[in-house]
Structure 1
Amino acid sequence: MFCTPVYARPQQNLSYPTTETTLDNGLKVIIREDHRSPMVMAQIWYAVGSSDEPDNLSGISHALEHMMFKGTSKVPNDEFTRLSRLYGGSVNAATFTNYTNYYQLYQKDYLALALELEADRMSNLFFKKQDFETEMKVVMEEWRQRIDDNPRALAFERFKWIAYPTSHYRQPVIGYMKNLKALNLEHLKKWYKDWYTPNNAILVIVGDVEATATLELVKRYFSSIPAQKTPQRNDVLEVTNLGYRRLEVELPVQVPNLYLAWNVLSLATAANPQDAYTLVIIKNILDSGITSRLQNNLVREQKFATSVSVSYDPYNRGDSLFSISALPANDVSLQDIENAILNELEQLKSTPVSTDEINRVITRYVADLIYSQDDIAGQARIIGTLEINGLSHRILDQLPKHYAAITPENIQRVANTYFNRDNNSSMYILPEQEK
């Protein structure tokens, strides 16, 4: 005899002992104690990314990220990376639309080293022409590999110009080749001087540390760095219901590709934050494993598509996109798969989702959210992501409660609010015709 599982609304708590402080120079410091292993993760997040760049300097934030590893007068050349390896550390960085972040992972005994290195390059970066020329070649090669040699990525960069008609989110993180070629060392020096300042940064430390002693270490290395005024950030709000937009491109792909996107709000921009939480659950109803609606209905049963993917970022500084991409099965047109996807969205608008389905999706999603915080890197990442986008890390403790409050009525209301034709952009990627 088989029993149907009953899915209760999750009530887990995601909290660890966490201390938040802002130094006199404006540096926000968040320290989370996690004593399960003798490791510590130190991440610094600067509130500047590709969406802050003027059109003629596209890609400069990412280029500066590369230069941040090329040394200071105190730690010259490649000594930063060599020291981290010498003491068993791991270092890296990433640039996105809203931020640039850097991390160092060490055994806890070397936290002071990590902080000293990070504070040093916050204010003492040494710009050498030779390093700049070398790193720009690396950046340009990244552009060729990520964009120019990847038809789907190239198409998506074009798609963002209709999906984000007014927001600076349409700009590619890695920039455009014409702008990369025009960048010079003085551009990077000014970008560094304008944005890399303690009052424009958040330091997140997670691991086997004691908060009071760790804060004293932070003050020792960072307190003497002066604050300075930063430029005004670009607007990242988007016009909704602007009208249907369609793009069709021919590229060297083997099979056609479909992209659909709707302009939606994020947790930071929604007047009713529950809209953002509900969009997360709608995303997971549609695409969160083989039993989710699009996977089950369009891929497994109807065989309209070979793959379908849904994405939505609720933790964004500005407005966001709710996007769906699909690869049609053989002899299925892009119009057919688009109609099938739109029909699934219409079902969300017209027919209430059962409480059991909602509970099942929420239970799985919250469990994944909790598991993602199981290591110190995951904890630091979500804390930094929330804080740098204008949200408090404290909402982490409340996320299960917010998701548990979602009802069938919430889903119908949000689906009807956002998933309409005037709020939609679509792109057809077609195999290039033989010349």
Structure 2
Amino acid sequence: MHLINLIFGDTVILQMRSVLPRLSLLFLLCMPLLACAEANQTADTHEYQLSNGLKLIVREDHRAPTVAHMVWYRAGSIDETNGRTGVAHVLEHMMFKGTDQVKAGEFSRLVAAVGGRENAFTNRDYTAFFQQVEKSKLNDVMKLEADRMSNLNFDDAEYAKEIQVIMEERRLRTEDNPASLLNESLMATAFMSSPYRHPVIGWMNDLQNMKAVDARNWYQSWYAPNNAVVVISGDVDPEQTLRMVEKYYGPAQARELPVRKPQIEPPQKGIKQVEVKAPADSLQLAMAWKVPRLEPGKLDDVEPYALELLAGVLDGYDNARLDRILVKQERVVNDINVSYDMISRGPELFTISARVAKGKTIAQSQAAIRGVLNELMAKGILDSELKRIQVHLLSDQIYKRDSIFGQAMEIGSIEMAGFSWRDIDTILEKMQTITPEQVQAVAKKYLVDSGLTIAVLDPQARNTSDVSIKGATK
């Protein structure tokens, strides 16, 4: 998940010089607005620590009588071990299967009964649960969520039914989806020791052999108040909210957490390649380079910011470099995408993925991508290109704060990576200081073959039932 989503218009890069004065004006207009937003955010955000280790963050936003209530556990697929992949996601499902006070399936019905919406999601780095309700109903959903933090109680029969649902989810979302299969193989090939090499949903064999006790052990290991952050945003009074949290979450007992081993990824020594054969309509290509991430306590490290902006220059709007050259001009690919997560707990990749155009080859597509990258490395980027990205980062951040749920999401996700919510504005400010030369420098330093993994999808006829994967390292 990106800390900041990039949303852009469709102005052609070749016309950027003519719009630079307008962009500079927008930049100057956005900066005071951001400064005002920063001041309000600091004044309206309150952090507390309960005696049991639970962190509470309250963001006041009184524009509408609604509240977002989120509980974040720092326990994701990165914390899993071989043979038990997918257990974090399995436990997310089982959290809806009852406590001594709430029967299986009742949690969602009770939230709906007070007019709320709720859901949960599992990530590589965390698992989170949320409800959004009218402010007078916060007490109701908090009582429910706090109950299952300490008193989850599901039986083997409920587990047996739910694991079948999860295996079917894997079949539909991954095994029947060629793009997902390609990404899964890419991650498994790129990483050697990091748990990021495993899919969040888990390997099918691990799901088939998982038992209810595995999910219970995961719950006992990680679902403790001293491994959780509660984020509440909306039309609330912080002191009243604190008292409510102390009432419901305060009785939860802190537990000793498992030791987290660092699992440092060994240096890559050359190009890795993997080929996936699966039913699909077209060739697909993914190229992923090992790159640094932003680390807590190192907010002055310019390289992650430069990589984030490099992704924007290449694929930050409809007519960015890769789209303009490879899709519209050369027509070597049908679509192309760049991904990079600057904020995470584990090692990161800078990935370019594309669907190859009919009649074109993987070699042609890869050569075309390399051509765009080589030109950028040799000639750099225009100041107007970079300014465009930075202006939209500012404006998008301001618009994002119109969403009560979006504010809670941003706070929770950055806290899970080991940062503080107070770092959000500092990170955005640092992004504005990056120069075109720094963006060019990270491209030259990191988008090289020694840290590259290439994944290719070889499309098979739709009636092909078997999926095969083969790989090699140069």
- Whether the TM-score (by the shorter chain) exceeds 0.5 is yes
What amino acid is aligned across from residue 70 of structure 1 in structure 2? K
Q: Report whether the alignment pairs 1:257 with 2:284.
A: yes
Q: In 1, distance between residues paired with 2:78 and 2:119?
A: 21
Q: In 1, distance between residues paired with 2:137 and 2:264?
A: 41
User: Of residues 380, 398, 413 in structure 2, which corresponds to 1:370?
Assistant: 398
Q: In 1, distance between residues paired with 2:271 and 2:336?
A: 22
Q: Percentage identity across aligned positions?
A: 37
What amino acid is aligned across from residue 253 of structure 1 in structure 2? A
How far apart are 1:356 and its partner, in Å? 1.2
Q: Report whether the alignment pairs 1:83 with 2:110.
A: yes
1:412-423 matches, cutoff 5 A: 412-423=440-451
Verify the 8 A CA contact 1:168 1:235 in the aligned structure 2.
no
1:315-334 matches, cutoff 5 A: 315-334=343-362
- Post-superposition Cα deviations, 1:9-52, rounded to whole Å, max 9, x if no partner, equal 45224432101111111111110001111000011111111121
Verify the 8 A CA contact 1:236 1:317 in the aligned structure 2.
no
Verify the 8 A CA contact 2:117 2:131 in the aligned structure 1.
yes
What amino acid is aligned across from residue 69 of structure 2 in structure 1? A
User: Of residues 168, 187, 193 in structure 2, which corresponds to 1:166?
Assistant: 193
Cross-structure match for 1:67: 94
Q: In 1, distance between residues paired with 2:433 and 2:314?
A: 19
How far apart are 1:3 and its partner, in Å? 6.4
Cross-structure match for 2:381: 353
Verify the 8 A CA contact 1:39 1:105 in the aligned structure 2.
yes
User: Of residues 287, 307, 315 in structure 2, which corresponds to 1:279?
Assistant: 307
User: Of residues 174, 177, 194 in structure 1, which corresponds to 2:204?
Assistant: 177
- Post-superposition Cα deviations, 1:147-200, rounded to whole Å, max 9, x if no partner, equal 111122122212212111221101111111111111111111111111000000
Verify the 8 A CA contact 1:65 1:100 in the aligned structure 2.
yes
What amino acid is aligned across from residue 333 of structure 1 in structure 2? T
1:166–1:285: structure 2 CA closer, same or farther, 3 Å change rule?
same
* TM-score, normalised with respect to structure 2: 0.88
* TM-score, normalised with respect to structure 1: 0.96
Cross-structure match for 2:57: 30
Q: Which segment drifts farther, 2-11 or 340-349?
A: 2-11
Q: Report whether the alignment pairs 1:393 with 2:421.
A: yes
Q: In 1, distance between residues paired with 2:52 and 2:248?
A: 12
User: What stretches of structure 1 of length at least 5 have no aligned partner?
Assistant: none
- Post-superposition Cα deviations, 1:205-256, rounded to whole Å, max 9, x if no partner, equal 0100111111111111111111011112243543344321111222111110
Q: In 1, distance between residues paired with 2:89 and 2:266?
A: 27
Paired residue secondary structure (2:287): strand
Paired residue secondary structure (2:422): helix
Q: In 1, distance between residues paired with 2:375 and 2:244?
A: 56
1:305-344 matches, cutoff 5 A: 305-344=333-372
Q: In 2, distance between residues paired with 1:346 and 1:374?
A: 40
- Post-superposition Cα deviations, 1:314-334, rounded to whole Å, max 9, x if no partner, equal 110122111010112222211
Q: In 1, distance between residues paired with 2:60 and 2:409?
A: 15
Q: Report whether the alignment pairs 1:144 with 2:171.
A: yes
How far apart are 1:142 and its partner, in Å? 0.4
1:153-232 matches, cutoff 5 A: 153-232=180-259
Verify the 8 A CA contact 1:270 1:276 in the aligned structure 2.
no
Paired residue secondary structure (1:393): coil
Paired residue secondary structure (1:35): coil
Q: In 1, distance between residues paired with 2:18 and 2:217?
A: 65
After the TM superposition, list the runs of 4 or more consecutive aligned residues in structure 1 that deviate by more than 4 angstroms: 269-272
Verify the 8 A CA contact 2:338 2:350 in the aligned structure 1.
yes
Q: In 2, distance between residues paired with 1:86 and 1:270?
A: 44
What amino acid is aligned across from residue 337 of structure 1 in structure 2? S
Cross-structure match for 1:93: 120
What amino acid is aligned across from residue 381 of structure 1 in structure 2? M
Q: Which segment drifts farther, 267-276 or 244-253?
A: 267-276
Cross-structure match for 2:408: 380
1:202–1:163: structure 2 CA closer, same or farther, 3 Å change rule?
same
